[in-house]
Chain A
Amino acid sequence: MTVTEPILQIRDLVKYHDTKGGRVHAVDHIDLDLFPGETLGLVGESGCGKSTLGRTIIRLHEPTSGQILYRGQDIAHLSRNDLRPVRRDLQIVFQDPFASLNPRRTVRQILSEPFSVHGVGTKAERSEQVNDLIAQVGLHPSFAERFPHELSGGQRQRIAIARAIALEPSTVVCDEPVSALDVSVQAQIINLLGQLQADMGAAYVFISHDLSVIGYLADRIAVMYLGEIVEIAPKWALWRRPLHPYTQALFSAIAIPEPPSKARKHRIIIQGDIPSPIDPPSGCRFRTRCPHAMPICSEKSPKLTEVGDGAKVACHLVNDA
């Protein structure tokens, strides 16, 4: 669709967590491209590895294996020191702004940190930069001297966003940034993120379990299940014609606030629970819950394959048809 080079190219990325219960296959051989200025939605149920993937691609987790090419440079195994210049370009906003802001620091101290850590500007300039940031996220200048506990959830999330965008990063991972907020506040934060993106041109990796939010914000959507991407496509293609049975079930589970007389009538409710990521099913990982499972699904794991319209799907039903 675009001829621009991706800023992030993820190749065969693997991240396992070793726990007492065994090895968690959180991210299992994932390929992914992120283009400048786009919003890539990452959706899936708990335990599917979406947060681990989001954190690994900006090197908050050490990958087990694979490549993370940032503007062509492999950062997957860079040392802390070598990574530092790249860090300012790769930022994250977490779900719980209470846990991600230091309670003993004022907003001004929190927002000065990115500048001082990366040696941007002089001390005198910093105060001005912080004031600008606070204005950019729509807060009153007086907030600079407040502590996180004096702020509401929405205001705290604004500060967390201000910190992430302080150094005008090329990529921001948004890990469920609105899930802890009330709808009215959620709308404020979603609008703010949209506006900042229009101003700065940063690419977002937007992680959420809420398909309404993802569907609203994202340009492309990647659907994850048990550590793998099962389908990735432009939003409109996914909305119009989801191909993977899991995507179909996820999309039909979205409850849309509209009069029942206008509602879509078909609803696919998939049965059963998500299997453990410690011991994922053989072959296709979704086969234990899939209404269309065939013998081949337990034998061979389907590869993510191009199907046109910029969409890729990993399903024997689609790929071998």
Chain B
Amino acid sequence: MKSAVPILQVEGLRTEFRNKRNGWFPVVDKVNFHLSAGETLAIVGESGCGKSMLAHSLMQLLPSRISRLAGGIIRLGDHDLAKLSDTEMRQVRGKEISMVFQEPMTSLNPLMKVGRQIEESILEHDHCSAKEARKRSIELLDMVGIPEPMARADQYPFQLSGGMRQRIVIAIALACRPKVLIADEPTTALDVTIQAQVLELIDRLKSEIDMGVILITHDLGVVAEWAQRVMVMYAGRKVEEAEVETFFSGPSHPYSQALLSSVPRPDALIGEAKMSQLTEIPGTVPPMDQLGPGCAFAHRCSRRTEGCLAVIPPLLTLPSGTSVACIHAEEFAHDRH
């Protein structure tokens, strides 16, 4: 896993949106990362930090006219997705890179039997017979753990539970054994016990298909349990990237630290002691068309100095291998030891 060749390489990605005054402003900016086969990379951050926009940029599913991919390279196999035309992208999307969305009901066609929806995805990319597609769709249903796949294939989405529907969405996404699966909050709408089932399923299929998974989530517990690397985004930029073990032993960016200590820990207090207060992050993510010249997190940061407001901090690589965009990161890393 360590020396694996990346299957997806993203460099200098920049996505822009248009505001009312017809100006373009970035919602994703200068994002670099890579993903290897068999690896799960988690992307975390609050709402509005650009994580879903990043995913939609990779899939080329940005709303036209109000947004555009303004720069960067998205290398997947032999393609640079950023340079593909709409027609070319259709060949790749769903075949080599797939996405699972948060709310399974809205990504399924309510009027079509679920088996047909899987077949559709197979027939779109592989020119096989309808019979063959049918056979494969039932195999897929079986693979994602749907009991009685033959019978279920002939049901409509409304006849299935939320967890089953998400399994169907996963089956569609994996129909052509993609190299990369993007899962955007795949379990947020599901119950706890069903969440665990779905995450375990994604993890198992990741090894079976040998694909890379990008897991977008706001749940740091899920990251710790299911990802190998984590990337923290803030105001459209990567502010930290680290191995999961290093990250949860002590993140390096003040934003990551604040995020982690704002999570209630059920195991933190057992007994009679007084409950410690959760860390609050004052304020909210700034609107991305109103960013100042310095670090976007500075106005919420407890360690802000003059220097933070002057320039956007570059990404530094710490001895631990973590990369972090904070001018104070090295002193803090030093303080901790």
Contact = CB atoms under 8 A, between A and B. Distances in A.
Contacts of B245: 259-261
Contact of A209 (B191, B244, B265, B279): B191
A235 B277 contact: no
B24 interface: no
Interface stretch (A14-22, A88-96, A179-187, A292-300): A179-187
Contacts of A46: 191
A273 B192 contact: no
Q: Counting chain B CB atoms within 10 Å of each CB, which of A182, A183, A211 scores highest?
A: A183
Interface in A26-72: 45-46
Interface in B32-85: 46-47
Interface string B314-334: 000000000000000000000
A257 interface: yes
How extensive is the interface on chain A, given as a class? 35 or more
Nearest to A43: B192
Given A249-B193, A256-B221, A260-B244, A194 B275 contact: yes
B194 interface: yes
Contact of A190 (B47, B191, B219, B264): B264
Contacts of A152: 284
A279 to B, nearest CB: 14
A255 B259 contact: no
A255 B225 contact: yes
Interface in A139-168: 152
For chain A, what secondary structure do more than half of its interface residues adopt (helix, strand, loop), or is it mixed? helix
Contact of B161 (A239, A267, A273): A273
Interface stretch (B104-112, B151-159, B266-274, B301-309): B266-274
Nearest to B245: A259
Interface stretch (B4-12, B114-122, B132-140, B195-203): B195-203
A273 B197 CA distance: 10
Contact of B281 (A187, A254, A255, A269): A187
B192 A183 contact: no
Interface in A240-260: 240, 249-250, 253-260
A257 B248 contact: yes
A152 B287 CA distance: 13
A217 interface: yes
Contacts of B291: none
B196 A273 contact: no
Q: Counting chain A CB atoms within 10 Å of each CB, which of B192, B260, B266, B269 scores highest?
A: B266
A45 B191 contact: yes
Nearest to A216: B264
Interface of B: 46-47, 161, 163-164, 191-197, 200, 218-226, 244-245, 248-249, 258-260, 262-271, 275, 277-281, 284
Given A255-B222, A256-B266, 6 more contacts: A209-B192, A211-B266, A212-B264, A249-B193, A259-B244, A260-B224
9 contacts: A182-B46, A182-B47, A184-B280, A187-B264, A215-B264, A255-B224, A260-B245, A261-B245, A271-B197
Interface of A: 45-46, 152, 182-188, 190-191, 194, 209-217, 235-236, 239-240, 249-250, 253-261, 263, 267, 269-271, 273-274
